[in-house]
């Protein structure tokens, strides 16, 4: 069997940088291209200025955004107006396209629509509809809550290791985030520091290759309210959802992924002062060579920061390695546990058995 089924990860995930081009309220629109495919999930963040993270997807449709750095419900605004064959179109919304600011857009391809009538298929107990890409291990599903413990078809053909779920209809509803490595009794929110324990979120039940259990929480299953879930399963050589232990040394922890990373999201799990969700990618920075040290945080609206050696990280041919002594909570404290979500720039070994080269 080949090491990986995805020799070119950029056909399923890609990062695009762009400059804002519209004065606030000035009208007009701009096409952002260079994605390399028609994206189904777009995550945009301003690199300059204090602006929110914006989630867009083709399941909820254009002009409907969610934010990771607050608990707002889905907001309908004139922002991302079209999904294109090689990108997307933005209006003059300052959070995503203001003159004088630079932005990053992380893009995933999902592509295949699905629907599930639970009573007809006997898969799950709550109807879902969405899109799925089993080759790349991603699905997006939406459903109407029942207020009771139930199961939803997530669309993937393998068990998701990471899921991000949000109530679309009501304000003051946190994200529910599942990660396999903290098990089914705990979950995360984007705006809180440590892992949390609430059986009302996932009913202390792990997902399967066909369904995910949703508890009675109003954050993921509020009666009559619309919800959205982003689900990810692991694809060898393309994506990895794991955990590691910090060593507190400038010769920091090495984390094996099986590929050269293009993007990583990292969170400490074992401390109430664990800090932000830290985002790195291979496109931002003065020369995008090692060390990678330009940081954004999914949990706040702050601008991109280069904190020198405080977040130095090497993206290697088969994983990533910290070059930081652990004085910051966020990435490499000795004995601390961290979870991560990572997507590839290139596999460690391609489908023909050819090894990758490090930077």
**Position 183 confidence tier, pLDDT thresholds 50, 70, 90:** confident
Cα 106 to Cα 38: distance, rounded to the nearest angstrom:
12
pLDDT of residue 158: 97
Q: Please state the length of the chain.
A: 359
pTM of model > 0.75: yes
* Residue 142 confidence (pLDDT) above 70: yes
Contact 237, 3 (CB under 8 A): yes
* Residue 218 confidence (pLDDT) above 60: yes
CB within 8 Å of 78: residues ≥ 6 apart: 63, 91, 92, 93
* Residue 153 confidence (pLDDT) above 80: yes
Averaged pLDDT, 325-329: 72
User: Tokens 């679309």 belong to which residue?
Assistant: 168
What single string gives the DSSP state of each residue in 234-249?
--TTTEEEEEEE---S
pLDDT of residue 323: 87
**Position 191 confidence tier, pLDDT thresholds 50, 70, 90:** confident
Average pLDDT, the chain: 92
The encoded tokens of residue 193 equal 């520091």
pLDDT of residue 276: 85
pLDDT of residue 84: 98
Give the residue, 49 or 195, on which the prediction is more confident: 49
First to last CA, the chain: 27
Contact 293, 312 (CB under 8 A): yes
What are phi and psi for residue 94, nearest 5 degrees?
A: -65, -25
pLDDT of residue 273: 64
pLDDT of residue 292: 87
* Residue 1 confidence (pLDDT) above 50: no
Averaged pLDDT, 15-24: 92
pLDDT of residue 77: 83
pLDDT of residue 32: 98
pLDDT of residue 287: 65
Contact 239, 345 (CB under 8 A): no
Q: What is the pLDDT of residues 232-289, one digit of tens each?
A: 999 999 999 999 999 999 899 999 999 999 999 999 988 766 678 999 999 997 666 7
* Residue 48 confidence (pLDDT) above 60: yes
Cα 113 to Cα 238: distance, rounded to the nearest angstrom:
22
* Residue 159 confidence (pLDDT) above 80: yes
């Amino acid at each position: 069997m080949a090491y990986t089924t995805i020799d070119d990860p950029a056909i399923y995930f890609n990062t695009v940088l762009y400059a804002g081009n519209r004065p606030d309220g000035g009208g007009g629109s701009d096409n952002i291209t260079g994605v390399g495919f028609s994206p189904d999930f777009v995550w945009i963040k301003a690199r300059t200025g204090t602006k929110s993270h914006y989630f867009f997807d083709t399941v909820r449709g254009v002009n409907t955004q969610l934010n990771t750095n607050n608990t707002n419900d889905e907001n309908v605004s004139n922002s991302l107006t079209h999904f294109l064959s090689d990108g997307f179109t933005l209006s003059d919304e300052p959070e995503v396209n203001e003159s004088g600011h630079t932005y990053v857009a992380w893009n995933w391809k999902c592509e295949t629509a699905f629907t599930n009538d639970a009573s007809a298929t006997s898969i799950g107990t709550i109807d879902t509809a969405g899109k799925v890409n089993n080759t790349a291990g991603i699905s997006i599903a939406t459903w109407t809550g029942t207020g009771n413990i139930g199961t939803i078809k997530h669309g993937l053909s393998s068990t998701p290791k990471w899921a991000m779920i949000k109530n679309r209809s009501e304000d003051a509803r946190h994200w529910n985030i599942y990660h396999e490595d903290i098990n089914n009794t705990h979950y995360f929110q984007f705006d809180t520091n440590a892992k949390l324990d609430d059986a009302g979120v996932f009913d202390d039940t792990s997902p399967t290759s066909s369904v995910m259990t949703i508890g009675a929480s109003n954050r993921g299953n509020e009666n009559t309210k619309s919800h959205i879930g982003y689900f990810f399963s692991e694809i060898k050589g393309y994506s990895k959802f794991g955990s590691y232990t910090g060593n507190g040394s400038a010769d920091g922890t090495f984390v094996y992924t099986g590929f050269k990373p293009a993007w990583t999201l990292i969170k400490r799990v074992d401390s109430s002062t664990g800090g932000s969700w830290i985002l790195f990618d291979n496109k931002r920075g003065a020369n995008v060579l090692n060390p990678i040290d330009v940081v954004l945080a999914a949990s706040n609206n702050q601008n991109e920061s280069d904190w020198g050696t405080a977040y130095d990280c090497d993206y290697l041919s088969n994983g990533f390695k910290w070059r930081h002594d652990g004085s910051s909570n966020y990435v490499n404290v000795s004995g601390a546990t961290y979870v991560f979500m990572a997507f590839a720039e290139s596999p460690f070994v391609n489908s023909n058995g050819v090894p990758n080269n490090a930077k």
